[in-house]
Amino acid sequence: MVKSTVRFPEEVMDQVEKIVDEGMCSNKSEFQRFAVEYVLFEATDHDPSVVDFDEIRTEMFPEQTEEHIIE
């Protein structure tokens, strides 16, 4: 796995930490990997490799219907 350093504003990291504290992701790195893979999944034909990608996506976006998620 390649290591990459990304800088975020403190306000963004506060929100990420809130998501981690709520248990949607196990840590900040998992959230960041999910976020990148989610954008690639939505924007291209990328096949996500994040463990439990579909479960995390469903938990993060419960308002999406099953049909929308499969598309």
Residue 69 has pLDDT above 60, yes or no: no
> What is the widest separation between alpha-carbon atoms in the chain?
35
CA distance 59 to 48: 16
- CA terminus-to-terminus distance, the chain: 28
CA neighbours closer than 13 Å in the CB half-sphere of residue 24: 20
Q: Nearest CA to 33 among 11, 71, 1?
A: 1
- Each residue of 7-42: pLDDT tens digit? 999 999 999 999 999 988 899 999 998 999 989 988
Q: CA 71, CA 24: separation in Å to the nearest integer?
A: 22
Residue 67, pLDDT score: 55
pLDDT at 49: 84
Can you give the pTM of this predicted structure? 0.72
Check residue 65 and give its pLDDT: 55
